[in-house]
Chains A and B, each alone.
Chain A
Amino acid sequence: MGWRAAELARAARLKALFETAGAKPVETSVLQPADLLLDLYGEDMRARAYVTWDALRGELMLRPDFTVPVVQMHMEGGADPARYTYSGEVFRRQEQDPSRANEYVQVGYEVFDRVNPAAADAEVFALIAHGLSELSGLRAVTGDIGILTAAVEGLETSSARKAALMRHLWRPRRFRALLDRYSGKTPMPPSRTALLQAATTVPATAPEIGRRQLVEVESRIETLKIDSATPPIGGAALSALNALLAVRETMPFAMEQLRDIAIDLPAISPALDRLEARVAALRTRGVDVDRLEFEASYGRTSMEYYDGFVFGFVAEARPDLPPVATGGRYDALTRRLGQGAEIPAVGGVIRPGVMLELGAV
């Protein structure tokens, strides 16, 4: 059997497994409207997906993943609760590394269920783990974006600063730079100091051009003035946030550290309760949670839609390969696409091609 046939055969077996678990099989178009994906993820999406167009429909993207179209489909009138599975190619533009696949099969399992999110998280994780059970040497890593957002939300600072940090949660370096600025660790750039001292005025020769209006410029200067009078983020909360970002332990030790951190950052406690409920649900599903890894920063560099539980399975001996499976919770995405409606949702995908590379037959 050729590679391609083997990949498809493996995909069919995984999809059958997910159907047995109660998922309804669904299909989505390969060509997706580009404007929605660009609106959700911004210009970075163009670096990751193939963009094409025709004169009638405008810009289209070759499906970079299934989650967005499946959520759209569900929000347009799916059953409640619902479980879906799909299998098919996704396309990822590669500009840096020619050895990375630009076209590969994903098989996914998505759960839309409001009753018990912890149980749904555990269901998806355990089912994906089961799909991978014949492979040895896999390491599962978990994280929780919801703890990070709760930590930012709980900082004692202005809502403008919290919004800026929240916006860059998925860009760790920029997040760090903002945090350094807000905690007074890096000084204000000279141009901003000059601006705030009103030493900079509009040059007489500078007409207002473009769609961004003078009132928007003035309003941002106002915001900057207010910000410069905002006391720095500091003390116990800042150290706690730094400690939180660095947590990387097996689950029981991670939980202990997180509870310690919550003493100085009490806003994360409800998120920790949800984590504990998830751990219990995973244990019920037979997952060895005592050896399961938890990394607080895991998932921060992937797609922006995950906002709770996140996980990935990687082959320890093959750091050159991408994760064989990834997944997570994306409640906020259902809100964005639901036009007023929303539903807790979690899902995961397996790459049968990577399974074959790891020796699955």
Chain B
Amino acid sequence: MGVKLGVPSKGRLMEKTFDWFEKRGIRLMRAGSEREYSGAVEGMDGLDLVLLSAGEIPRELAAGRIHLGVTGTDLIYEKLPLWQQQVEEMAPMGFGQADLVLAVPKFWRDVDTLDDLDAAAAAFRRVHGDRLRIATKYHRLVREFLTEGGVADYALVDSQGATEGTVKNETAEAIADITSTGETLKANHLKVLSDGPILRSQATLWRSRVADCTNAERLVLNDCLDRVLDPV
């Protein structure tokens, strides 16, 4: 068995991760066909590539099933409440930058701050009878942010994709989602609240604090970290 490195299994995040390691002399590749989720490594003996969904990498790190993993700060904070005890941040990787923001319809002239959102939520409940809904997949982070900001009378509704469309589709009144350029928000007639962002995220290399290591694996792990953490 070797040191396991978990990397997102598709898309730009995977490609940029491969580029980042390649610049540091470690070549990561998908093995076999385009559709097969297994990987190969050149330039670092004893390092195994594990291709995973980005959303599963926090859990695998926390369970100690992988030693190293690449995923966004957003997913670590959302999925691991005690992340400081389970994982260690090794290196921000300089891509995948995105902010978790709260956004409301642009025509809500009266809402710019959390204070406004809270007042609008109270009025909404009086008029409509139910709570103002905020669509998100970041339940814990959003709830903590709103509690901290003293917002009441809202309800979180789960949205695992196309979150910006939920307002127009009337399944939510506001959203909390990751955005990098804000273009999708703009296209869906939404604006970002000035209190925030809830979180600034980017792709980051994490080390599991709980994964077991044999002596041989520890040597490989240290060697690998020395190599990738050196300034390029």
Contacts and interface: CB of A to CB of B under 8 A. Distances in A.
B108 A212 contact: yes
A210 B123 contact: no
A189 B112 contact: yes
Interface stretch (A101-109, A126-134, A218-226, A335-343): A218-226
B112 A210 contact: no
B173 A177 contact: no
Interface residues of A, number: 40
Contacts of A205: 106, 189
Given A207-B107, A212-B108, A46 B128 contact: no
Interface stretch (A7-15, A61-69, A194-202, A260-268): A194-202
B156 interface: yes
Contact of B124 (A38, A43, A173, A212): A212
B191 to A, nearest CB: 8
B167 A44 contact: no
A212 B108 CA distance: 9
B143 interface: yes
Contacts of B156: 43, 46
A200 B111 CA distance: 11
Contact of B150 (A177, A206, A210, A224): A177
Q: How large is the interface on B (under 10, 10 to 19, 20 to 34, 35 or more residues)?
A: 35 or more
Interface stretch (A143-151, A164-172, A312-320): A164-172
B229 interface: no
B122 A209 contact: no
Contacts, number: 108
Nearest to A96: B81
B53 interface: no
B78 to A, nearest CB: 11
B141 to A, nearest CB: 11
B173 A206 contact: no
Contacts of B139: 46
B114 to A, nearest CB: 9
Contacts of A159: none
Given A43-B155, A200-B109, A221-B109, A212 B146 contact: no
Given A174-B118, A216-B120, 11 more contacts: A38-B155, A42-B154, A96-B81, A171-B150, A195-B110, A206-B106, A207-B107, A210-B167, A211-B128, A212-B108, A212-B124
Interface of A: 38, 42-44, 46-47, 95-96, 98, 164, 167-168, 171, 173-174, 177, 189, 191-192, 195, 200-203, 205-212, 214, 216-217, 219-221, 223-224
Interface of B: 81-82, 105-110, 112-113, 115-116, 118-120, 122-124, 127-128, 131-132, 139-140, 143-144, 146-147, 149-150, 152-156, 167-168, 170, 172-173, 189, 194
17 contacts: A47-B140, A47-B143, A47-B147, A95-B81, A96-B82, A167-B122, A174-B149, A192-B112, A203-B106, A206-B106, A206-B107, A208-B105, A210-B173, A212-B105, A212-B132, A217-B109, A224-B110
